[in-house]
Structure formats: C-alpha cells, structure tokens
Amino acid sequence: EAGVVQSPRYKIIEKKQPVAFWCNPISGHNTLYWYLQNLGQGPELLIRYENEEAVDDSQLPKDRFSAERLKGVDSTLKIQPAELGDSAVYLCASSSYRTDTQYFGPGTRLTVL
C-alpha cells in the first residue's frame, strides 16, 4: 500500500513569492491534515479536511495561507506571499476517519530567503 505522498520535498523561494505544496493521501482515507513543524518543535495542525470539507481551519493564517481538497482526494496548501517566518516543514497526514491513526508523508521543507 502506498503511503502519503508529498511534493516537492524541498522548496527555496524569495520572500513575497507564492508557493504551493501538494499532498496525495493514502487511498481510501477520508480525512486529511496539514501540519506545520518549526525547527525543534512538534507539528501543529493548520487545517483538517473530511472529504472535501475543511472542518477545522482555526489555526490557518487566512490572510496568506489557503488550502483546497478538490474531489476529496488530493490537497494543495498555498502561501501567498511567503514571509521569512514561514520557513518550516509542512507535513501532510491522512486517516481513515477522524479518530483513527494518522499516517504522515515525508514533508516539504520550505526555506524563505
């Protein structure tokens, strides 16, 4: 069974530029999560989807961050414009249902110069 796929693995951009991250969850997993992991910290939830509905986006900085999950499968997380403080690892995870074990992708390391 294929795991959670994320791309790109690494991204370096100049500040004020836009950036997008892509996630493909495990087949059949209805719930998808985006987490932010700063250096030396544990991951923090940005947004949770159940199918195509964003059911918890309370921690998503909506002035510059947006996300979508069309057709309830793949998801894209976008930042526009990026700031220096956005440099971090962005992790995607999926689970069969809300309280099931979450399985993580390899993450995208973003560096904003």
Partner 1 sequence: AQTVTQSQPEMSVQEAETVTLSCTYDTSESDYYLFWYKQPPSRQMILVIRQEAYKQQNATENRFSVNFQKAAKSFSLKISDSQLGDAAMYFCALMNYGGSQGNLIFGKGTKLSVKP
Of 17-25, 27-35, 64-72, 76-84: span binding partner 1 (CB under 8 A)? 27-35
Q: Which is nearer to partner 1, 14 or 33 (CB)?
A: 33
Of 19-27, 61-69, 70-78, 100-108: span binding partner 1 (CB under 8 A)? 100-108
Spell out a b/e string for 68-93, using b for 16 or more CB atoms within 10 Å of the CB, else e. Answer: ebeeebebebebeebeeebbbbbbbb
One residue of 8, 17, 44, 51 binding partner 1 per CB under 8 A? 44
Find out whether 46 and 65 touch, Cβ atoms under 8 Å. Answer: yes
